[in-house]
Chains A and B, each alone.
Chain A
């Protein structure tokens, strides 16, 4: 008998060999790879591909709204299917997968100085289950009856009834199965991201020295691990309602003069479960964007982030608060006024940490050495867009203002600004920023300028008028708006204008995709650290980083991630792994 404590089972993080899986063949290197960087690219490519489907769906929707009666194939049923799939794909399969599966996989191990995620095999499974979820989702387009048209919130009872496209066909079943698969796959990846950040950092990398990108992705992942269970449960229960004839969410209903078999269920229960997931989901998408944008601004303004610790606490605070605001999506579902009061209050309180972040970004820019590179342009655009979307959020957080605005285009404009355009803009900025590390080449600058200006201005031209017609009372989710009394002539013109702008902005994304592919071979050589940035991913011996990320020895971290323009230092940036003391750093003690 040997006296052994559990502690000796732990591999010390500083050992050079952390039991990496070394690929033996082309298949295990590029397809069934356990390298987080390859998995990240697989995630990103899949998310982008399915995102393009959602983009095309949005064009079709805008064509129908802007030019009603012109396109015969866009029937009311088809329109609802487009709405549903556009929303679901964008929120879950594109934004969540790209931020956490894509950027999370690529950046977390590199930025915290790890060789890989802690359990690469589980990480690989995560991607393949995600791909399966996407395939099931795509399959619903070809199933009898087409995909579900229940709206992205899938509210019962209508989601599983005859009148809704896919309600009594395959659509809703495939949607629910796909979501369940997504959650299983995500959990496998999410556990990896969290444990890597908590337990897999290199020497010297305290949590309070981590780049804010990692903080954002980490907090969002923790939130996702706690919020997705509610969606999982809701999906399982609705699947039973639809497939087994249970009545979790189904009250007694008369449909087409016939009493359905269901009875006694609570549709509101679904809404609670859905939004207990759905509201944190907004921040699951927003927090990685907050983190990334902080790093972009700091790097491209050559200045340390203002109030680093406040930024971290704001991320954590927003993450915690977002779990107690969910019912502000349900004001019109009917609730006790005191609950409305409670949820309105918590909703408005979230504005405090969010405002701290915005002020800190602006103060980081103040007297900075601002380089208007493409990533910086996108970062600046994000601040503007996010403030805009956030302010209309304050409108909608109030019960009395929300009730009349509910189900109008104002809501559509609000959430597209705050969780559609703003995070996507950060994703673009982040791609321009890290593409040189992933491929070794820069993205084309002129195409980037074109992409930025068309996307940024175009997004405003789409969504600003939409606020206005929403205030006029134009409802959302209507297939055709021709005979609605609130649709004045000007509203019609604006509506057509929005549609034209949507097509133009969509076209700019095609240019961006071209840039992504073209620059892999033809882009300017980037070198290891084109932005002269401090964080560890730019200090790798190879670009793109090899399997295992760093050379023989893991880097040792001596400073925080924001030593830019330190007075007294020779260069205007000091990498995190550079030993010694230079000048007067602003690193908090």
Chain B
């Protein structure tokens, strides 16, 4: 797409170079990011803000873990599953992580087929993504249940620092909420794709804005972000 915008209307000076050129480009006419739509820009900025939330959560967890004087429960024992007579460390979490990362793949394919206007494949892939996401949340619920039956509570646990349970439930809960919201919106957007709302630009129920296939991509941005955050939670909680 060629740039249709007019920069510096009413001025005829040559365009600045160097640092001034960079500043001039960023501050140029109408849009700072030329080919980025409003919705996409808004999602990126929201994700930036959300990054700070997860960052604060994780930093607080690290502070708690480093400053506590009582021993921290050993993750490879706590998160082990007893399968076939032996304890396999981190097996559940490995499967969970695999499932969630795979869902990023199906999401990326959905975005691709969305821009090809392939309604069927887009909707199926989005639903597949939603199923993978729901599987992840289900396994997380299983893990929570297992830990709770073993006596882990937000205010204490049998193995050491009480902050283990508090941080674990808080951070995985907050992330799980993000995944759940994502699953819900995946289903909503998949339905719209299936019905062909984006082909006819049918207006949204609340927003009265015309729907576009780009919404699939914006949904994808959120989904990939949730996956990326999981990688950090995985590293700091289970591998540390």
Contacts and interface: CB of A to CB of B under 8 A. Distances in A.
A567 interface: no
B156 to A, nearest CB: 9
B210 interface: yes
Contacts of A559: 10
A335 interface: no
Interface stretch (A196-204, A377-385, A485-493, A544-552): A196-204
Interface in B15-52: 16, 23-24, 26-33, 35-42, 45-46, 48-50, 52
B116 interface: yes
Given A187-B46, A245-B155, A264-B70, A201 B29 contact: yes
Contacts of B67: 266
Interface in A174-213: 187, 190-192, 194-195, 198-208
A202 B29 CA distance: 8
B45 A232 contact: no
B154 interface: yes
Interface string A7-47: 11111111000010100000000000000000000000000
Interface of A is mostly: loop
Contact of A198 (B32, B209, B210): B32
B32 A207 contact: yes
A199 B36 contact: yes
Q: How large is the interface on B (under 10, 10 to 19, 20 to 34, 35 or more residues)?
A: 35 or more
B22 to A, nearest CB: 12
A225 interface: yes
Contacts of A8: 1
Contacts of A246: 154-155, 162-163, 165-166, 170
A204 B10 contact: yes
Contacts of A237: 60, 170
B170 to A, nearest CB: 6
A199 B28 contact: no
A229 B53 contact: yes
A509 B8 CA distance: 44
B9 interface: yes
Given A204-B6, A247-B162, A264 B41 contact: no
B161 interface: yes
Contact of B10 (A122, A195, A579): A579
A121 to B, nearest CB: 4
B56 interface: yes
Contacts of A589: 11, 13, 16
A7 B35 contact: yes
Q: How large is the interface on A (under 10, 10 to 19, 20 to 34, 35 or more residues)?
A: 35 or more
B10 A248 contact: no
A21 to B, nearest CB: 5
B5 interface: yes
Contact of B33 (A118, A199, A240, A245): A199
A118 to B, nearest CB: 4
Nearest to B55: A229
B236 interface: no
Given A204-B10, A246-B155, A198 B33 contact: yes
Given A205-B30, A247-B163, A264-B68, A19 B115 contact: no
A194 B55 CA distance: 22
B154 A264 contact: no
A261 interface: yes
Contacts of A199: 30-33, 36-38, 41
A125 B66 CA distance: 40
Interface in B161-219: 161-163, 165-167, 170, 174, 206-210, 212-214, 217
